[in-house]
Amino acid sequence: MKLKIISITIAVTLILLLICATVITMTTSYRGVIKKIEGNFYNAKHMVLIGSTVLCMKGDSIHSTRKSAFSSEDEDYSISLISLKDISLIEFVFEDEDEEIATDIPPEYLGTYRVNVTGHKGYLYLAVKKGRLYGGFRFPNWAKGVYEPLKRVRIYNGKISFIRSVTNRKDLQRVGANTYFTQYFYGNFKNDGKLIVGSFMHRGAKNYWEGFKK
């Protein structure tokens, strides 16, 4: 009986540790590129090392070069367990929150857009200030309805990309979200900047969004 109780305790502890590791995996914001021993590269997000295994959200695309993996923008991700024996290199990429100097951005791409993000209706603000590009979301009927500054806002070749995230307690309380999250947005400008159509990745799932110029 005593041995059975010990075995059950160990099993429960291992399950709890796995649950904790999964939660950490889903909420951490950094990403990286994994090179496997066969030579291919894979994008990965929310990586956690469990013993000799990496728990992560792994990109479904296979890349033959490191450059191809780093430059890939829109991929589907799924939860994956990868043995360290199958990995030759892991390179972490910490998202830089500094805004890039804005160059050659068509003025018609700037301004206020009415957005629909999987049913959540709000506003996307895009502006250049002192030579730098800034962006922000506001969803009046979601959480506290406050302005959310976006990270890594880029506009290039008729496309836009940015990161929406809540990764610390201060922002969690300010925004009023009920959990931490990181969302990677991509889109294409259409109709001379009057429309943006795109997708975003959230917890490994692809969702769609659109914006209409006010």
Give tens-digit pLDDT for 110-121.
999 999 999 999
Give me the amino acid identity at 82. Answer: I
Give CA 44 to chain center in angstroms.
Answer: 11
Summarize pLDDT for 31-75 with one digit per residue, the tens. 788 999 998 999 888 787 778 888 888 888 888 888 777 766 667
pLDDT of residue 160: 95
Count of CB atoms situated within 10 Å of the CB of 182: 22
Which is more confident, 9 or 107?
107
pLDDT of residue 25: 47
Alpha-carbon distance 143 to 118, whole Å?
A: 15
Alpha-carbon distance 41 to 167, whole Å?
A: 27
Strand ranges across the sheet with 41-50: 77-83, 53-59, 41-50, 31-36, 87-93
Count of CB atoms situated within 10 Å of the CB of 101: 10
Can you say whether residue 177 is alpha, beta or left, with left for phi > 0 and alpha for psi between -120 and 50 degrees? beta
3-state secondary structure of 39: coil
Alpha-carbon distance 4 to 20, whole Å?
A: 24
Alpha-carbon distance 120 to 143, whole Å?
A: 11
Domains of the chain: 28-93 (2.30.30), 107-213 (2.40.128.20)
Summarize pLDDT for 155-194 with one digit per residue, the tens. 998 999 999 999 888 889 999 999 888 899 999 999 999 9
Alpha-carbon distance 8 to 22, whole Å?
A: 21
pLDDT of residue 51: 80
Nearest CA to 121 among 135, 142, 147, 136? 142
Count of CB atoms situated within 10 Å of the CB of 181: 17
Entry pTM:
0.58
Alpha-carbon distance 155 to 189, whole Å?
A: 9
pLDDT band at 207 (very low <50, low <70, confident <90, very high): very high
| Average predicted confidence (pLDDT) for the chain | 84
Report, in angstroms and rounded to the nearest whole number, the Rg of the chain calculated over CA atoms: 20
